[in-house]
Amino acid sequence: MSDLTLAVDIGGTKFAAGLVEPDGRVVAAQRSATPPGGDAETLWETLTGLLDRLEPPPGVAGVGIGCGGPMTWPAGEVSPLNMGGWRGFPLRERLAARFPGIPVRIHNDAICLAVAEHWRGAGRGSAAMLGMVVSTGVGGGLILGGRLIDGGTGNAGHIGHVVVDPGGPQCGCGGNGCLEAIARGPGLAAWAVAQGWSPGHAGSSQEPGRASEPGGESLRQDGEPSGQGGELYREEGTATARRLAADAAAGDPIALAAMTRAGRALGVAIASAVNLCDLDLVTVGGGLSQAGDLLFGPLEKALREHTRMGFAGRVRVVPAALGQDAGLVGAAALVIAGDRYWSPGP
Amino acid sequence: MSDLTLAVDIGGTKFAAGLVEPDGRVVAAQRSATPPGGDAETLWETLTGLLDRLEPPPGVAGVGIGCGGPMTWPAGEVSPLNMGGWRGFPLRERLAARFPGIPVRIHNDAICLAVAEHWRGAGRGSAAMLGMVVSTGVGGGLILGGRLIDGGTGNAGHIGHVVVDPGGPQCGCGGNGCLEAIARGPGLAAWAVAQGWSPGHAGSSQEPGRASEPGGESLRQDGEPSGQGGELYREEGTATARRLAADAAAGDPIALAAMTRAGRALGVAIASAVNLCDLDLVTVGGGLSQAGDLLFGPLEKALREHTRMGFAGRVRVVPAALGQDAGLVGAAALVIAGDRYWSPGP
């Protein structure tokens, strides 16, 4: 029996598989682009091809899977929003058939990222933590009492659907004023465009003529509402939002206003989570989090305005520490550190 | 050794102590009014006098205490907002000295009410529940994975400080737009008065002359901001809000608008909690919850508007089932059912 765990990370942009040491180190990994529009078996063959290339040793200790939601949980019949070919696809069962006799465990990809930060990243040692991803979507996972909180159906952690403005913009979920509707990269970029911002032209609002120059980039590529396409919780797919951050850094007033708007929405939603769950720590990862103080400044300000009770003032908000392997690390933790991150049984 | 547990429930209006059977039945109870403005020892003597009258049998199994917050937890040095005589008072330690050699456990009073509903009330069997109290304050407790969630400092469950309107009215906590600022009985009544409502005069908004009739009741008695007086999570102290509910039932348009406003705020905050914590069930107790459909109708409408993801739609909001003994039942559960409701150790 090997002491390695096989980790699988399934996203709308790429599939990844890796072998993870008991201490969380990823010692081998393979990646494939997600076949666009692939049907159920095409997607499955992409995954099995990846596993064949990885060549896991005989007798891995278990299999941990992170996959975009929604899914039935813990059964692991997945219907990822951004992979139309899998609807009710028995991903966990298929992998269990391929790796019999060992634990095969699955969770939402955003939850796996939160678990990774708690286990081996910026959240180590926290008793009460929210791990967030702010990217094309806004997601997260809750760790309370030092353990992953699943909620009644494995869906705890949906910080992106905490309501920050009940009369606010429509969200991909069908509600209004969710954090995600305001702070997801494409939502933020769309708001800036509506205010007159043109991607990649810092200062364009003062120089309207430049907005129509050749080379102005369409927002279409990641402007769809969450739930209809794109990568929800990863760093891909936020090119336009990153350009917005760059323009904000260059002093573009609309871009700055957009970052402030997103930062404040994040601060309010985090405050609600802190007050409700008595959190020590919030980690923030994902493409948009790389905007630094432009985002975290307004976030901190709003957070402190709305966490005035004594216990809530202690919370810290820090950047996520792990990089592109985080999804594999968190998936592996479902097996390796199942005492903390896996509740429903084998 | 007796199989009875001693339960103590400390509030700004009354102190209660009772003996609780292993199945949660309260078999004896004593109550005393809280001495207004009492200093530390006066308050303590009120409690010990109550215990002397109760005459617990030798060898009770343990002592469970519910007390208004804030407090250090689990140490139980209490500084109840509405009892200025106790600031950092070592309530748990004092009771432990009086009852040596047995578990003596303490939690926030709103948390004890949530525990009571989960253990023996409307929340039995729920894996993921929020137990709420809507009264002079708005509080609650979270049960996730079938266990009480304490949060990092024992303060999880503060649903009253989930932000429902970032630009909304100031809250007693110092923030703005908290659920409590809008939906607490006195806040609701104050809003109605500002709109022209006069307590006890249904229809007064159409008949302005009646508003100044003798007998119009001052709001002062429970109009203080939360945190400066009054009973936070109990049914006392909401006389004016109850009158508002009665006027709403009689068709007063301002009173109706006030109930709708509170109901919507409750629905939005509950939606955020449901989305974040993946809840099955929310129980709502406290004086204001007795307004029935006038409150629960708008609550349900707002809740459904803001819980559009598949998993969230299953949540049910129901009235709390336990009556005036709920605080004692929940306090006792910290001892009797400590496997589910007590995490930090003996």
B75 at interface of A, judged by CB pairs closer than 8 A? no
Q: For A233-243, what is the mean pLDDT?
A: 65
Q: Considering only residues B344 and A234, tell me which one the structure prediction assigns the higher pLDDT.
A: B344
Distance CA A193, CA B139 (A): 41
CA A50 to chain B, closest CA, distance in angstroms equals 31
Q: Is the pLDDT of residue A228 over 50?
A: no
Q: Does the distance separating the beta carbons of B275 and A158 come in below 8 Å? A: yes
pLDDT at B100: 96
Domains of chain A: 5-108+334-341 (3.30.420.40), 122-319 (3.30.420.40)
B288: confidence class by pLDDT, cuts 50, 70, 90: confident
Q: Is the pLDDT of residue B27 over 90?
A: yes
CA B194 to chain A, closest CA, distance in angstroms equals 23
Nearest chain A residue (CA) to B154: A278
Q: For A316-336, what is the mean pLDDT?
A: 96
Q: Is the pLDDT of residue A209 over 70?
A: no
Backbone angle region of A284, left / alpha / beta, with phi > 0 → left and psi within -120 to 50 → alpha: beta
Q: What are the distances in angstroms from CA A292 to CA A90, A259, A297?
A: 39, 10, 8
Percent of chain A with pLDDT over 90: 80
Inter-residue contact B107 to B66 (CB < 8 Å) = yes
Distance CA A64, CA A113 (A): 13
Contacts of B310 (CB under 8 A, 6+ apart): A70
C-alpha Rg value of chain A to the nearest Å: 20
pLDDT at A218: 32
User: Closest partner residue to A272 among B127, B155, B163, by Cβ?
Assistant: B163
B328: confidence class by pLDDT, cuts 50, 70, 90: very high
Inter-residue contact B141 to B113 (CB < 8 Å) = yes
A75: confidence class by pLDDT, cuts 50, 70, 90: very high
> Across all residues in chain A, what is the average pLDDT?
89
Q: Is the pLDDT of residue B214 over 60?
A: no
Distance CA A247, CA A300 (A): 21
Residues in chain A with CB shorter than 8 Å from the CB of B149 are 144-145, 149, 277
pLDDT at A240: 82
A343 at interface of B, judged by CB pairs closer than 8 A? yes
Distance CA A193, CA A171 (A): 18
Q: Considering only residues A252 and B214, tell me which one the structure prediction assigns the higher pLDDT.
A: A252
Q: Would the ipTM clear 0.85, i.e. be above it?
A: yes
When scoring B261, B281, B311 by the number of chain A Cβ atoms within 10 A, the one with the most, hence best to mutate, is B311
Cis peptide before B36 (omega within 30 of 0): no
A216: confidence class by pLDDT, cuts 50, 70, 90: very low
pLDDT at B333: 98
Percent of chain B with pLDDT over 90: 80
B291: confidence class by pLDDT, cuts 50, 70, 90: confident
| B16 bridge partner residues | B9, B31
Q: Is the pLDDT of residue A337 over 60?
A: yes
pLDDT at B322: 96
Q: For A94-101, what is the mean pLDDT?
A: 97
A148 at interface of B, judged by CB pairs closer than 8 A? no
Q: Is the pLDDT of residue B260 over 50?
A: yes
Residue type at B326 in one-letter notation: A
DSSP A74-135: TTTEE--TT-TT-SSEEHHHHHHHHSTTS-EEEEEHHHHHHHHHHHHSTTTT-SEEEEEEES
Q: For B212-240, what is the mean pLDDT?
A: 42
Residues A109-141 have pLDDT tens digits of 999 999 999 999 999 999 999 999 998 899 999
pLDDT at A237: 47
Q: Is the pLDDT of residue B210 over 80?
A: no
C-alpha Rg value of chain B to the nearest Å: 20
pLDDT at A303: 98
> Across all residues in chain B, what is the average pLDDT?
89
pLDDT at B130: 98
Nearest chain B residue (CA) to A139: B276
pLDDT at B202: 60
Least confidently predicted of A199-208, B174-183, B225-234: B225-234
User: Closest partner residue to A276 among B162, B175, B268, by Cβ?
Assistant: B162
User: Closest partner residue to B162 among A142, A272, A309, by Cβ?
Assistant: A272
Nearest chain B residue (CA) to A264: B166
Q: For A154-168, what is the mean pLDDT?
A: 97
